[in-house]
Chains A and B, each alone.
Chain A
Amino acid sequence: MLSMATKTKPRKGASPERDEEGLIRQAKFDPQAFGELYERYIKKIYTYIYYRVGNQADAEDLTSRVFQKAFVHLPGYEHQGLPFSAWLYRIAHNMVANWYRDQSRRKVVGLDEATRHSTEEEPGSAAERTAEREMLLKIIRKLSADKQQVLILKFAEGYSNTEIGSILGKSEGAVKSLYHRTLLQLRETVEKNQND
C-alpha cells in the first residue's frame, strides 16, 4: 500500500505548518487540536455527504454524526501512514450506508437545492446548465456507492487517483480502472437520457 504521509500535498484550507500525525496525537488530549482537524475537513466531509444523500438537512445531520463519532473514537485511532481524511471518509461512508438502509429510499436533489449552490452561472445559459447539472446529479446518484465515491472525491474534493486509492483502500490502478468504468457507464446513461 502506498503511504500517503509522504505523497499528500498540503491542500487548500490545510495548515501546512502542522504535520497531521502530530496534530492527531495532540488532538487525543487537546480539544483545540481536534478543532483544527475539524476545520481542515469539515467542508470536504460535508461536500462528500451532501452529494451522497442529496439534501442539506441530512448532510448536516450526518456530518455532525461523523465528527461526533471521530471525536469519541479518536483515542483509539492509530496513525498508519494513511491520511486522517481516509478515516473520516470511512466513517462518513458507513454513516451514509446506514442512512440509506434506514431510509430505504433514495432521495434526489431537488432542482431548487441543486441550483442553490451553483454560483458561476452565465445568465444566457443558466436554465440549460441547471437542467444539465440536475440530470447529471440524478445519474451520478444512481451509480454504485464506490463509483459515486470516486467521482465525488475526484471532482468535488480534487483528490488525485493515488489519494483516492489511499482513502478507499485501493491501489492507484484499481482507482483508475474504476474511474474509467464509471465514465463509460455515465457516458452511456447520459447519451441514453439525451436521446429519450
Chain B
Amino acid sequence: MMREENLEKRIQRALIPIAPRKGYAAALKARLLKGTRMPVELERNQRVSEIITLATIGVGAVATIAAVATIGIKTLSLFGSGALLLHAASKRRSPRGGMKSQTA
C-alpha cells in the first residue's frame, strides 16, 4: 500500500525532473544568442566610448580655461591701457599743473 511505502520513494515520484515546454529552450537560446554581442565585447566598446568622452571633456575644459584666461588678460590689458590713456588725458587737461611741471 502506498501509505507504507518509503517516504523517499514517494518524494522521488513526486519530484520528477521536468522538461521545459517544447520549443521554449530553443527559443530562449536563440533570443539570448542571436544578434547579441557578448558582454565582454560590449564592455570593451563601452570602455572605448568612455575614454573618448573623457578626452573630449578634457580638451573642452582646457579650451574653456584658455579662453577665460585670454579674455581675462585682454580685459586687464584693456583696462591698463585705458588707465594710461586717462592718465595722459588728465595731464593734458590741467595746463597749470602741466605748465608747472614743465617749468619745474
Contacts and interface: CB of A to CB of B under 8 A. Distances in A.
B44 to A, nearest CB: 10
A156 B33 contact: no
Interface in A109-152: 117-119, 125, 128-129, 132-133, 136-137, 140, 151-152
A137 B14 CA distance: 7
Contacts of A157: 17
A156 B13 CA distance: 9
B29 A35 contact: yes
B22 to A, nearest CB: 12
Nearest to B33: A31
A38 B30 CA distance: 11
Interface residues of B, number: 29
A20 B7 CA distance: 35
B34 to A, nearest CB: 9
Instruction: State the majority secondary structure of interface residues on B.
Output: helix
Contacts of A128: 2
Contacts of B25: 42-43, 46
Contacts of A43: 17-20, 25
Given A128-B2, A183-B7, A136 B14 contact: yes
A31 to B, nearest CB: 5
Interface residues of A, number: 49
Contacts of A140: 11, 14-15
A60 B13 CA distance: 23
Interface in B20-72: 20-21, 24-25, 28-29, 31-33, 36, 38-41, 43
A38 B20 contact: no
Nearest to A153: B15
Contacts of A74: 39
Instruction: State the majority secondary structure of interface residues on A.
Output: helix
Nearest to B7: A187
B3 interface: yes
Nearest to B11: A155
A99 interface: no
Nearest to A70: B32
B33 A60 contact: no
A101 B28 CA distance: 25
Nearest to B37: A31
A47 B11 contact: no
Interface of A: 28-32, 34-35, 38-39, 42-43, 46-47, 50-51, 56, 59-60, 63-64, 67-68, 71-75, 117-119, 125, 128-129, 132-133, 136-137, 140, 151-152, 155-158, 183, 186-187, 190, 194
Interface of B: 2-3, 7-8, 10-21, 24-25, 28-29, 31-33, 36, 38-41, 43
